[in-house]
Structure 1
Amino acid sequence: MLEPIRSPLRRAIAPVRALFVSDASAGVLLILVAAAALVVANSPLAEDYDALFNDYLWPKETFYLNTLHLWINDGLMVLFFFVVGLEVKRELIAGQLSSADKRTLPIMAAVAGMAVPALIYVAIAGGDTQLVRGWAIPAATDIAFAMGVLGILGSRVPSSLRLFLLTVAIVDDIGAVLVIAVFYTAHLDVMWLAIATGIFALMVGMNRFGVKQFWPFVLVAIALWFAVLFSGVHATIAGVLAALTIPMRKGDGHSMLEKAEHGLAPWSAYLVVPIFGFANAGVNVLDMTTEQLFAPLPFAIATGLFLGKQLGIFTIVALAVKLGIAKKPDRANWMEIWGVTILTGIGFTMSLFISELAFAGNRLFVEEAKIGILLGSILSAIIGYVVLRLTTTHPEDSEKYDEARQATP
């Protein structure tokens, strides 16, 4: 007797529950943090907000990281990149990128999903040589945001598409890290670079010789971060390099890498990234003119994220399936695949990070870039959600669910 009542109740509260479970929670938290940053930046607290993150703590000659903003971007975010590195290594060794047949489609999709937005950006903003440095801003996908939208949709979306989005975003992260290391390194200090290389070699040796405790890796990783910081390569690259040295070999049933990822991932998702988001997403739109809001820079970024991402990824997936290079994600129709490719246009964390590097010292361009990132990400999240909501069928109604997929090529 209670089941007919319980079932409608469960359906009614399902969207609310979805906000607080696994895939959705980290993404929703980021949305709330970004909204809070925008509200504060456009309130009477705007000056306090700016002073909190940008006032000097000490002279730059004393130590390079002399603002809270720099400590967050060059220090705290190392943990985020460390977790990204752990995830990438696990996927390459034992996950969805461990074999050629598994990684072919995600790699092709990620490359196209980075190249097309960059080309669109250059086509729109490339006339201004000052803006060209921002070409990589719309090339990044935010895993937490995108997976958060899928989490809100619940089990309506086939698990194969969740896996596809996750693996594309992981490869996208690898590409973003390489872009930061190669294109956003202002200068190189050969001595510090040599020291960093030696420390990295030491960590590789610790792995090879079977160091079983995690804390020695942590201590040496801090030294690696310090050396990379002064080498001219962006300090967060140290996080990725350190992660690649963490052993994957099984010890007591779990590897050191798996334990580290399991322990650190929540800190990264629920503390580090939200702090970074709050420190970087705030932009005073009230003081901006209409010309600034629709200037080439924000327009190029928003267009690259919203149109470039879906165009590049969907086209390459369709071509790969048509030519027999890869298989279409299991139980997914083309409308659902399109909806997921729209979600890849959510570029928050990495896009904001790259904009700070691309336009370091030019606050106007950084602020305009934030507008473009937020606009492109919001459009991608809303339109992607609507497309998936309208084109997916809840699996509880199994006959309708299977018929809908069989009827769609």
Structure 2
Amino acid sequence: MTVKTAIQHPAAGGILLLVSASFAVLMATVPSMQWFDRMWDMEAGLDIGGWSLQMSIRHWINDALMAVFFFAAGLEIKREMVAGELSSVRKSALPVMAAIGGMLLPACIYALFNGGSPETSGGWGIPMATDIAFAVGVLSLLGDRVPAGVKIFLMTLAVVDDIGAIIVLALFYPVHPVEWGYMLAAVALALVLVVLNVRNVRRKPVYIILGTVLWYLIYMSGIHATVSGVVLAMVMPSRIRVKGAEGTVETKVDCSLEERIKPLVTFLIVPLFALANAGVAFNPEVFSNGLPGVSLGIAAGLLIGKPAGIFLFSLLSVKGRLAALPSGVEWKHIAAVGVIGGIGFTMSIFINSLSFTDPAVTDIGKISVLITSVIAMAAGLAAMAAVCGKDNKPIKIKVQ
């Protein structure tokens, strides 16, 4: 197998992601190698005249490069919404409802374990999140065995979940107050982008330049800057091409930009993200004080609450005729996606860092998130492999 062939393999991105995360954990665990984690905290930035923007390398990756990741994810979702698996309201409603269930039930389960403890009750937002980078990476390990509709369902669910987590952060875990001047400017610029799209302005550089300004405004507003990637993707111009002399033979969306940035996201941005964020030193001593409620709440929320919430709300939305299963997606796939949804990882660790005042509790929460997410990765991969089979033959699961 040549290097080019290996890179083009559908699972290549997922394998690189897992290798990067494992390497980061190893470097954080070995005492003599902890310089690697500190390296990401080095300051870097831009200084042009009287204007300056300084962040740590870790924040440049998380806030800037990951905005490109969300932009790529948004382009794929929009393509499916315009001419694919999510082109009807009933189909697009399913991942939204699934994401809501996947956030509510884990939070409630965590509260059951920690509701009576003022020291730990604030961590209810930790198991609400799904790490989109790792979730998609798990699917990529299975390549074409996973139906396209399942990939889009998980991608959409994870994006909605992440937006929900960002809203939770803004409302319940404030670090800095929202700068409403920047926020209003960002909303105004987003409306300008919508108008450009409606008026059929198709020059993509115009959108990219304005999108960069939008990123800066959202970043300065105090809201997580990666939201700008999704917003920009939704307003990018798209074209539906119909082939055939008499009607619709083939319907496609112009996805040249998506195809161009996909290798950048898969082989550079996502691995860098894992290297900068996956480093957690395993130290059994952090559990010496007990506090099992934190670990139990996180583990039960991600491993039980996530799958149950995603499946239950999907079932209710379909049976209530609010949504419909996408083409090629069966209930077995929804159940497997629910297990993969338990990979909380980065956003869960971030919320964990804002939830507690006691460093010992924070360490317990961080290690619990990592261990639980690894379990969810393995279980989710096994579940999806089982339901997809070797050649994606149907395995019928009927829901009465």
- 2:17 is aligned with what amino acid? L
Q: Is contact 2:339-2:376 (8 Å) kept?
A: yes
1:21 equivalenced with 2:9 (yes/no): yes
Aligned counterpart, 1:213: 203
Q: Is contact 2:127-2:298 (8 Å) kept?
A: yes
Q: Is contact 1:149-1:381 (8 Å) kept?
A: yes
Q: Is contact 1:57-1:66 (8 Å) kept?
A: yes
- Name the CA distance, whole Å, in 2 between partners of 1:197 and 1:321: 34
Q: 1:273 to 1:288 in 2, by over 3 A?
A: farther
Structural mapping, 1:12-161, within 5 Å:
21-22=9-10, 24-56=11-43, 65-129=54-118, 131-153=120-142, 161=150
Computed over aligned residues only, the root mean square deviation of the Cα atoms, in angstroms, reads 4.0
1:190-219 deviation per Cα after TM superposition (whole angstroms, max 9, x unaligned): 332333333333333333333332222222
Cα shift at 1:281? 1.2
- Name the CA distance, whole Å, in 2 between partners of 1:133 and 1:259: 44
1:131-162 deviation per Cα after TM superposition (whole angstroms, max 9, x unaligned): 55543332222344334444444666666655
1:15-50 deviation per Cα after TM superposition (whole angstroms, max 9, x unaligned): xx999722x332222211111111000114444123
For structure 1, which segment, 84-93 or 299-308, has the greater mean C-alpha deviation from structure 2 after superposition? 84-93
1:188 equivalenced with 2:178 (yes/no): yes
1:374 equivalenced with 2:370 (yes/no): yes
Cα shift at 1:306? 1.0
- Name the CA distance, whole Å, in 1 between partners of 2:52 and 2:375: 40
- Name the CA distance, whole Å, in 1 between partners of 2:177 and 2:212: 22
User: What is the DSSP-based 3-state SS (H/G/I as helix, E as strand, rest coil) of the residue aligned with 1:233?
Assistant: coil
Cα shift at 1:94? 3.2
For structure 1, which segment, 210-219 or 293-302, has the greater mean C-alpha deviation from structure 2 after superposition? 293-302
Q: Is contact 1:156-1:393 (8 Å) kept?
A: yes
Q: Which consecutive residues of structure 2, in runs of 5 or more, have no partner in the other structure?
A: 46-50, 243-250
Using structure 1 for the length normalisation, give the TM-score. 0.76
1:246 equivalenced with 2:236 (yes/no): yes
1:378-405 deviation per Cα after TM superposition (whole angstroms, max 9, x unaligned): 2122223334555665449xxxx67x64
- Name the CA distance, whole Å, in 2 between partners of 1:241 and 1:406: 37
Q: Is contact 2:15-2:141 (8 Å) kept?
A: no
User: What is the DSSP-based 3-state SS (H/G/I as helix, E as strand, rest coil) of the residue aligned with 2:281?
Assistant: coil
Cα shift at 1:342? 1.5
Q: Is contact 1:114-1:140 (8 Å) kept?
A: yes
Cα shift at 1:309? 0.8
- Name the CA distance, whole Å, in 2 between partners of 1:262 and 1:374: 32
User: What is the DSSP-based 3-state SS (H/G/I as helix, E as strand, rest coil) of the residue aligned with 1:244?
Assistant: helix
- Name the CA distance, whole Å, in 2 between partners of 1:324 and 1:273: 37
* Alignment length (residue pairs): 384
User: What is the DSSP-based 3-state SS (H/G/I as helix, E as strand, rest coil) of the residue aligned with 1:81?
Assistant: helix
- Name the CA distance, whole Å, in 1 between partners of 2:187 and 2:321: 42
Cα shift at 1:53? 1.8
Q: 1:281 to 1:209 in 2, by over 3 A?
A: same
- Name the CA distance, whole Å, in 2 between partners of 1:330 and 1:92: 13
Q: 1:99 to 1:363 in 2, by over 3 A?
A: farther
Q: Is contact 1:306-1:376 (8 Å) kept?
A: yes
- Name the CA distance, whole Å, in 2 between partners of 1:283 and 1:207: 44
- Name the CA distance, whole Å, in 2 between partners of 1:376 and 1:306: 7
- Name the CA distance, whole Å, in 2 between partners of 1:293 and 1:65: 39
Q: Is contact 2:103-2:129 (8 Å) kept?
A: yes
- 1:117 is aligned with what amino acid? P
Among 385, 390, 398, the alignment partner of 2:381 is 385
Higher strand content, 1 or 2: 2
Aligned counterpart, 1:9: none
Aligned counterpart, 2:245: none
1:33-86 deviation per Cα after TM superposition (whole angstroms, max 9, x unaligned): 11111100011444412331224569xxx9563422222222322222322333
Aligned counterpart, 1:307: 304
Q: Is contact 2:16-2:267 (8 Å) kept?
A: yes
User: What is the DSSP-based 3-state SS (H/G/I as helix, E as strand, rest coil) of the residue aligned with 2:40?
Assistant: helix
For structure 1, which segment, 158-167 or 297-306, has the greater mean C-alpha deviation from structure 2 after superposition? 158-167
Higher relative contact order (CA 8 A, sep 6+): 2
- Name the CA distance, whole Å, in 2 between partners of 1:190 and 1:317: 36
For structure 1, which segment, 193-202 or 333-342, has the greater mean C-alpha deviation from structure 2 after superposition? 333-342
- Name the CA distance, whole Å, in 2 between partners of 1:33 and 1:154: 19
For structure 1, which segment, 115-124 or 326-335, has the greater mean C-alpha deviation from structure 2 after superposition? 326-335
- Name the CA distance, whole Å, in 2 between partners of 1:65 and 1:364: 30
User: What is the DSSP-based 3-state SS (H/G/I as helix, E as strand, rest coil) of the residue aligned with 1:65?
Assistant: strand
- Name the CA distance, whole Å, in 2 between partners of 1:91 and 1:392: 21
- Name the CA distance, whole Å, in 1 between partners of 2:66 and 2:289: 29
Among 236, 241, 254, the alignment partner of 2:226 is 236
